[in-house]
């Protein structure tokens, strides 16, 4: 994976490069997931009662939700030497390794089952793309979550497009290139990151 020199770093969730945006805490991430589950369940229940409600769409997942997940779980997804922060206008997330003095630009996507994502030029120019796949978890209130990481996505997708997971994985080379992490729940994913970070900093 291409790595750029680390030109600035901050352990604080609020920094100039991130535009002052604050990463959600673990309790806030879990609270927001619970709220999203309630919204998705309500729409599902309405659809079960009336055919007309099929025109009500499931909402897109808030970017602060998906980006905070990637920032908090950076040690689990990229290794114990890496830390994440908001990337401001440069990228959704910047992950940094102080030991190697390098940084990676990461773009973040998050969808439920069958949902589409638009891949723009900025996404394709990133060092890595992280796609959080909730499947039917938010709709059903339980189920696994996957995090797929594709290095140099522009190597496989040449121009911006709109894809769901099935069509994305049908692109030549994607299945072989992606790394997929599967967790029983979002809470388990967050715990795995905490354990990995602790292991990396233990003396």
Annotate 10-30 with three-state secondary structure. CCCCCCCCCCCCCCCCHHHHH
**Full domain range(s) for residue 119:** 4-201
Write down the pLDDT at residue 13: 40
Instruction: Please state, in angstroms and rounded to a whole number, the distance separating the CA atoms of residues 179 and 1.
Output: 13
Band of the pLDDT at 42, cuts 50, 70, 90?
very high
Work out how many domains the chain is built from and give that number. 1
Whether the predicted pLDDT of 105 surpasses 50: yes
Picking from 119, 127, 106, the residue whose alpha carbon sits closest to that of residue 163 is 119
| Runs of H (alpha helix) within the chain | 26-49, 63-72, 74-78, 121-124, 137-140, 165-169, 174-177, 186-201
Band of the pLDDT at 19, cuts 50, 70, 90?
low
pLDDT (tens digit, 9 = 90+) per residue, 55-74? 999 999 999 999 999 999 99
Per the confidence metrics, is the pTM higher than 0.75?
Answer: yes
Whether the predicted pLDDT of 190 surpasses 50: yes
What mean pLDDT value characterizes the chain? 88
Interval 78-98 mean pLDDT:
95
Percentage of the chain beyond pLDDT 70 is: 87
3-state secondary structure of 58: coil
Write down the pLDDT at residue 201: 42
Write down the pLDDT at residue 6: 38
Picking from 63, 59, 66, the residue whose alpha carbon sits closest to that of residue 37 is 59
């Amino acid at each position: 994976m291409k790595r750029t020199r680390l030109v600035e770093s901050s352990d604080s969730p609020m920094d100039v490069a991130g535009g002052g945006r604050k990463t959600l805490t673990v309790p806030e991430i879990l609270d927001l997931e619970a709220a999203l589950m309630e919204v998705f369940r309500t729409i599902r229940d309405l659809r079960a009662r009336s055919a007309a409600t099929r025109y009500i769409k499931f909402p897109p997942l808030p970017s602060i939700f998906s980006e905070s997940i990637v920032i908090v779980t950076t040690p689990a997804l990229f290794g114990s030497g890496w830390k994440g922060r908001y990337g401001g206008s440069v990228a959704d997330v910047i992950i940094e390794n102080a030991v190697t003095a390098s940084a990676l630009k990461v773009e973040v996507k998050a969808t439920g089952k069958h949902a589409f994502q638009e891949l723009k030029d900025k996404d394709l120019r990133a060092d890595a793309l992280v796609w959080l796949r909730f499947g039917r978890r938010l709709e059903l209130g339980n189920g696994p979550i996957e995090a797929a990481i594709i290095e140099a996505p522009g190597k496989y997708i040449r121009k911006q497009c709109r894809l769901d997971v099935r069509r994305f994985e049908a692109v030549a080379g994607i299945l072989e290139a992606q790394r997929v992490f599967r967790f029983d729940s979002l809470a388990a994913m967050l715990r795995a990151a905490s354990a990995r970070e602790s292991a990396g900093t233990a003396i």
